[in-house]
Chain A
Amino acid sequence: MSFEMWAEKYRPKHLDDMVNQKEIVERLKSFVKSKNVPHCIFAGPPGTGKTTAALCLARDLYGEGYREHLMELNASDERGINVVRETVKTFARSRSIGEIPFRILILDEADNMTSDAQQALRRTMERYTETCRFIMCANYSGKIIEPIQSRCAPFRFTFLPREEHDKHIKYIADCESVRLLPDGTEAIFEVCGGDLRRGINTLQAASSMNKPVDANLVYSVTGKASPVDVQKMLTTAINGDFLGARKQLRDMIQKYGVAGSDIIRQIHTEIFRADIPELWKIKLAGIAGEIDYRLVEGSDEEVQLSALLARLVEAGYEIKK
């Protein structure tokens, strides 16, 4: 077992190493081949390889010295307009030395940028296209202003499918000589839903216990890391306690940083398992779908999801009647 974060250790280094997002990888490879990259938006849920793809692209493009041609900024940490004015501009306008005439700026979690900053960015992008290409990574592309979207090639990243997820997790377990039982792999997928970073972190935390990793161990680890008890929240809502359910939702989002898309996916699964009349299941699924869509368009995950909770309260009330 090695003693660093496995999610980093096993982060693919080249586009060829990437196990998933095949179509995206193919397109990116064609960029490398032609030695030209447009401005890009990498949109998709967490842990699906957006940042990895951007880093791999840069490495394949510039070779091992790629760091000199690359800047990584994280909008969540530096989302103000001043960063765009100063840092980004300075980087964007300086010419790249070498074969490729432009540098690459990876702007991670770009959907967390204020719209003012995005406006400023739009002008910078336009002015310095010659010398700098932007890759914006975001969970929701809808939160990036349209003028920027229209200047970028869009790439939609999706959760890893089951087989690819399992393959990768098993591969890491093998390399680290961790005894991973089949139900352990299954549990990791169930809990992390194809978010590979979380999956790997879960695997590592579970193996730190020095026990074979089975479903129980995975559940106990994730229970401690993020008590995302969607089922409990659902029950609270259906029993009519809206404020209680909203509090649980808030804890998930604020304290444990669970993504809204994750929560709604789990709610959707739970609806069909819940002990409610069949007719209601499809009704609630429809409402979940509507909220899922609004989540993409809207700006506040908690607000959207609590609207769904209120519908659950309503359903619980109707069912009892």
Chain B
Amino acid sequence: MYAAWAVKHKPASTAEIIGNTEAIKTFSNWVNSWSKGVPKKRAAFLYGPPGVGKTVTVEALANDMHMELVEKNASDYRTEDAINRFAGLASQYGSLFGGKRIVLLDELDGLTGNADKGGVKAITDIVKTARSPIVLIANSAYDPRFRTLRSYCLLIEFKKPPASSVTKHLNRVCEREGIQADENALKFIAQRSGGDVRSAVNDLQALAQGKKRLTYDDVSWLAYRDRQESIFNVLKMIIYGRTSYGAKQAVDVADVDIDMLFEWIYENAPAHLTDPHDLAQAMDALSMADVYRGRIRASQDWSFTRYVIDYMTAGVAMARQNTEVHGWIPFKFPSRIMMLSRSKAERAMQSRIGLKIRRKCHISAARASKEVLPYLKIIFKNNVQMATGIAKWLDIDAEMVEYIVGNKAKAGTITAFLR
């Protein structure tokens, strides 16, 4: 069963949390102070960018101190009514079983618009009279809506942890998953994440799940990715899009160009559209998108791009008629492109031989290494005489002969003849 690593490997204790040591200490002191009576500030307001460990800190601390954690998030307190329903929790001393309790209101940013105005006010009222520690979490505490609320809270800022700490965390995750990861691969993921630990772990999972070893080559394509709207979200918008318009929108938020996006869709759509009719429909849409790419090329009329986009986004989204959604299937980097970046050394050798063939055979080096080289391999393995003749004719060196024959001893006899 698929489990998100970001959840699976969440720190269980504050000691495991990377970065923000000061903030965590301040917070933990404040929670401790409740044992000596209600402190001046009855709520702590943790704020900072996403994925730096705000929620995790609260959860881990509750765990460390054996406190009960009552967690609510934005959808639970959209209106004053809804808030009053659990206001009682905050007004009591501790929980039923004698333990202490923390009330956590997460994702405060989720309160929007006028309808939620009452929400912020209700929260402020609860904070004023709370008898259990209340923790508020938001990306920014300085939103004007929180002006009054803020004054009743202890403000604790969470900052992005440095890349080196994120790397350390990724390393730990890899160890637990039994993956051998190159240091620079993890460093790269960490740097790309811009201090967002959660997304770094998500990236790691997308790249490394099911592998024994993670190398720099496996991750370097992440350079294509944007922090704001990762390609995974873009793909979700397309492959799971409900409306044509929504699927088309994906192109605007993607930070890869259309051709690269096409590759992503082409790679991933089949695994997500398992019903044969849906699959055929989606592939047909991609085929039509490609036809329009061809038409653009032939006519140089780039305005046809809109049809490419229609087919590759809306066309694929609307293909989903029968496929049911079963759990989460990870998105994969386009393997066609991966294939190209692999075995650089081998390709270098092939193109060197290709160049030799080109000089004689009026065929591109690229084609030669695909069309002629395979036959050379057969000849060189079977017929030393013919091999020697061709080697001489093509003017290839011992190293190339060895590559073609794939066997040192045999290559030796051929090169001996060459001399």
Residues of A within 8 A of B (CB): 1-5, 7-8, 11, 46, 51, 55, 72, 74-77, 108-109, 112, 115, 119, 142-147, 197-198, 201-202, 204-205, 208-210, 221, 224-226, 240, 242-243, 246, 250, 254-257, 291, 294, 297-300, 302-304, 306-307, 309-311, 313-314, 316-318
State which of B286, B364, B387 has its C-beta within 8 Å of the C-beta of A108. B364
* B287:A313 contact, CB within 8 angstroms: no
Which of chain A's residues have a CB closer than 8 A to the CB of B270?
242-243, 246, 310
Q: A-B pairs with CB below 8 Å: how many?
A: 174
Given contacts A243-B270, A298-B291, contact A146 B276 (CB under 8 A): no
Q: Is B182 an interface residue (CB 8 A)?
A: no
Kindly identify, within residues 70 to 109 of chain B, every residue whose CB is under 8 Å from any CB belonging to chain A.
Answer: none
| Structural contact, A306 and B283, CB atoms closer than 8 A | yes
Q: A147 to chain B: which residues have CB within 8 Å?
A: 300
Partner of A313, one of B279, B336, B361, B365: B279
The reply on B35 being an interface residue by CB < 8 A is: no
Q: Does B294 contact A (CB under 8 A)?
A: yes
- Distance of A286 Cα from B91 Cα, bound (Å): 74
Q: Is the CB of B298 within 8 A of A146?
A: yes
Interface membership of B280, Cβ < 8 A: yes
Given A224-B374, A299-B297, A300-B290: A254 in contact with B362 (beta carbons within 8 A) = no
Q: How far apart sit A317 and B274, CA to CA, in the bound complex (Å)?
A: 12
- Interface magnitude class on chain B: 35 or more
With contact pairs A74-B364, A108-B364, A254-B339 given, residues A142 and B294 touching in the complex (Cβ less than 8 Å): yes
Contact with A along B366-404 (1 / 0, CB 8 A): 110011101101110011011111101110000000000
Which of B282, B290, B379 contacts A208 (CB under 8 A)? Answer: B379
Whether A243 lies near B280 (C-beta < 8 A) is no
Q: Give Cα distance in the complex from A283 to B247, angstroms.
A: 31
- Nearest chain-B residue to A11 (Cβ)? B362
| B297 lies within 8 A of A256 (CB) | no
Asked if B177 is at the interface (CB within 8 A of a chain A CB), the reply is no
**Complex: A299 Cα to B361 Cα, angstroms:** 26
B277 touches A (CB below 8 Å): yes
- Most B C-beta atoms less than 10 A away, residue of A4, A109, A243: A4
CB of B360 within 8 A of chain A?
yes
**Across the interface, do B298 and A55 meet the contact criterion of CB distance under 8 Å?**
no
**What sequence of 0s and 1s flags, for each residue 292-303 of chain B, a beta carbon within 8 Å of any chain A beta carbon?**
011101111000
Residues of A within 8 A of B387 (CB): 208
Cβ-defined contact, A208 with B280, below 8 A: no
CA distance A218 to B266 in the complex (A): 36
B-side contacts of A317, CB under 8 Å: 276-277
Q: Which residues of B contact A202 (CB under 8 A)?
A: 375
Q: Is the CB of A256 within 8 A of B374?
A: yes
A115 to B358, CA, bound (A): 24
Determine whether B284 belongs to the interface, using a CB cutoff of 8 Å to chain A.
Answer: yes
Q: State A207–B221 Cα separation when bound (angstroms).
A: 45
Pick from A201, A210, A243: contact of B375, CB below 8 A: A201
Contact A294 B374 (CB under 8 A): no
Q: CB-CB < 8 A to B382: which residues of A?
A: 208-210
Interfacial chain A residues near B336, Cβ < 8 Å: 250, 254, 302
Which of B284, B361, B374, B394 is close to A226, meaning CB atoms less than 8 Å apart? B374
Besides the known contacts A8-B361, A221-B375, A224-B374, 19 further A-B residue pairs in the complex with CB atoms under 8 A apart = A3-B390, A5-B394, A8-B362, A74-B358, A76-B365, A108-B363, A142-B294, A143-B298, A144-B298, A145-B297, A201-B375, A226-B374, A242-B270, A243-B271, A256-B374, A300-B293, A303-B287, A313-B276, A314-B276
B362 and A108 contacting across the interface, CB-CB below 8 Å: yes
Least CB distance from B368 to A in Å reads 9
**A226 CA to B371 CA, complexed, in Å:** 9
Can you list 22 pairs linking A and B with CB atoms under 8 Å apart? A1-B385, A2-B389, A3-B386, A3-B388, A5-B357, A5-B372, A46-B367, A55-B362, A108-B362, A112-B364, A115-B297, A146-B300, A201-B371, A209-B382, A210-B382, A246-B270, A257-B367, A302-B336, A304-B290, A307-B286, A314-B280, A316-B276
The reply to whether A115 and B300 form a contact with Cβ atoms under 8 Å apart is yes
Would you call A5 and B393 a contact (CB within 8 A)? yes
- The residue among B299, B364, B390 with the most chain A CB atoms within 10 A of its own CB is B364
- Contact B358 A77, beta carbon cutoff 8 Å: yes
> When the two chains form the complex, which single residue of B283, B358, B364, B388 contacts A310, counting CB atoms closer than 8 Å?
B283
Q: Report whether A204 and B375 are in contact in the complex, using a CB–CB cutoff of 8 Å.
A: yes
* Chain B residues in 8 Å Cβ range of A55: 362
A46 to B362 CA separation, bound complex (whole angstroms):
12
A109 and B379 contact, Cβ closer than 8 Å, known pairs A243-B270, A298-B294, A311-B280 = no
Asked if A3 and B290 make an inter-chain contact with CB atoms under 8 angstroms apart, the answer reads no
Q: Known A147-B300, A299-B294, A300-B293; judge A1-B361 contact (CB<8 A).
A: no
Most buried by B among A5, A55, A143: A5
Contacts of A243 in B (CB 8 A): 270-271
CA distance A303 to B365 in the complex (A): 24
List chain B residues, Cβ under 8 A from A74. Answer: 358, 363-365
The complex places the Cα of A191 from the Cα of B384 at a distance, in Å, of 26
With contact pairs A205-B375, A209-B382 given, residues A77 and B365 touching in the complex (Cβ less than 8 Å)? yes
